[in-house]
Amino acid sequence: MRTKIYAALAVSAVTLAGCVAPVQTTAPAVPSAPAAAPAAPTQLDEASRQLARNAVNTEMQSRLAGSDTTPYTNCVMQNATTAELIDIAQMSAAGSSTADSVAAIVSRPATTQCIASVARSA
């Protein structure tokens, strides 16, 4: 039974890792005059953190249907940066897909190790 769970998690991790969008390699154009831009948020308030958690959990549930994905969501949340969580919360609020962002976090060695540890203890 555990072997099947490990195999399902490995397939899910590989599937999520394959969802990463290509990175833009050209430099953006530099504006001729500095424009006043709003400051980017640097702190994640509790409402945004919960929105990000819900989005991550939804992504995990779509890959691991029928499983309690809370421990896996916790792994992703622990290994995401504040900026990534803010982006995920904003994309979720806008109705955009968060799959690529979640996949990028899942593909990190620390996240993969956390997920494997959770799977072993399940």
pLDDT digits (tens, 9 = 90+) for 65-118: 888 999 999 999 999 999 999 999 999 999 999 999 999 999 999 999 999 999
Question: Does 24 map to a domain?
Answer: no
Question: Does 27 map to a domain?
Answer: no
pLDDT digits (tens, 9 = 90+) for 23-49: 455 555 555 544 444 444 557 788 999
Question: Does 32 map to a domain?
Answer: no
What's the number of domains the chain is made of? Answer: 1
| Residues 6+ away with beta carbon under 8 Å from 103 | 16, 17, 18, 19, 20
How many Å apart are CA 85 and CA 81, to the nearest integer?
A: 6
How many Å apart are CA 108 and CA 110, to the nearest integer?
A: 6
Question: Does 98 map to a domain?
Answer: yes
What amino acid is encoded at 50 in this protein? Q
Question: Does 97 map to a domain?
Answer: yes
What residues make up the domain containing 66?
Answer: 2-19+43-121
Question: Does 58 map to a domain?
Answer: yes
Nearest C-alpha neighbor of 81 from the set 42, 109, 24: 42
Question: Does 25 map to a domain?
Answer: no
Question: Does 31 map to a domain?
Answer: no
